Structure 1
């Protein structure tokens, strides 16, 4: 019974340690809950440039903290969500977005492997068809075979 209880407690501790830590500090929180919710929504869309696989909302990096503060400052100044995102993207580039915007560049980036694969399949198909249609060599006539035998015997 004690072994089962110990295993259960260990499993509970293991599950509790897997819960993501909220990285924002209490001094960053805005007093207005509506503005704070907007800030949290925006910071969850922005990538931490240090961690690169976390949003700035989840990251403990100093740059992520600076970006969280910047987002909240822009919201307090009255910027719309789109204006805040545009401002951060203008400073850090499209890479800062966890979900990139749909543009010609992203279409080319995501479509290039498909396009190159299709071009390769088409090239293989065309070259294999061309190879089949090449003329087969004609058989030698009896006179030509006799001439070759005479040359080989000499």
Structure 2
């Protein structure tokens, strides 16, 4: 029992340090936040829809990469200057391309992205239905001669 207490006493501080170090870091720093809550909410909404160019799996709102911080600051500067949300997004897309958006716009060449998935699904479904129809064959009936022979075999 003493060993267990001693082990717990020595491992508890280590676990506490690990928990503190593993705590998620807040990406948006206090010095980035705007004083106006409405503008800050708009900036956060825009930031959630823009992909981090470095991380690529995170939005710039969640990323701690320096480029994400710069993009968050640009968004806030543009909003303070009076740009609409669409103008801010257009500005960033003009600099980084459509890839920067988590949800690509449904226009131009991006229409292929929007419709390729459902089109391929429907094509695969059509192939599966056609294959299933070919697989179903009508049950073959025995001829009169075969039925007579079967009865004779069963009688023996």
Shorter-chain TM-score bucket reads: 0.5 to 0.7
- Correspondent of 1:22 among 22, 26, 34: 26
What's the TM-score, normalizing by structure 2? 0.62
Number of aligned residues: 131
8 Å Cα contact 1:22-1:57 kept in structure 2: no
How is 1:60-99 mapped onto 2 (pairs within 5 angstroms)?
Answer: 60-99=64-103
Matches within 5 A, 1:1-154: 1-100=5-104, 104-128=111-135
> Structure 1 residue runs of 4+, over 6 Å off?
none
Q: What is the CA deviation profile of residues 31-54 of structure 1, one whole-angstrom value per residue up to 9, with x for unaligned ones?
A: 434323322232122110111011
Gaps of 5+ in 2: 139-156
Are the structure 2 counterparts of residues 20 and 105 from structure 1 closer, same or farther at C-alpha, using a change threshold of 3 Å? farther
Change beyond 3 A, Cα 1:99–1:113: same
Q: Distance in 1 between matches of 2:23 and 2:43?
A: 22
Alignment RMSD: 3.1
Query: Quick one: structure 1 residues 17 and 119, their matched pair in 2 at CA, closer, same or farther if it must change by over 3 Å?
Result: farther
Once the 2 structures are TM-superposed, how far is the Cα of residue 118 of structure 1 from its aligned partner?
A: 0.6
Matched residues in 2 for 1:113 and 1:12: separation? 51
For 1:61-119, what per-residue CA distance to the aligned partner results, in whole angstroms no more than 9, with x for missing partners? 33323311221121011122233233323443443223455674453143244223213
Please report the TM-score for the alignment, with normalisation by the length of structure 1: 0.63
Unmatched runs of 5 consecutive residues or more in structure 1: 134-154
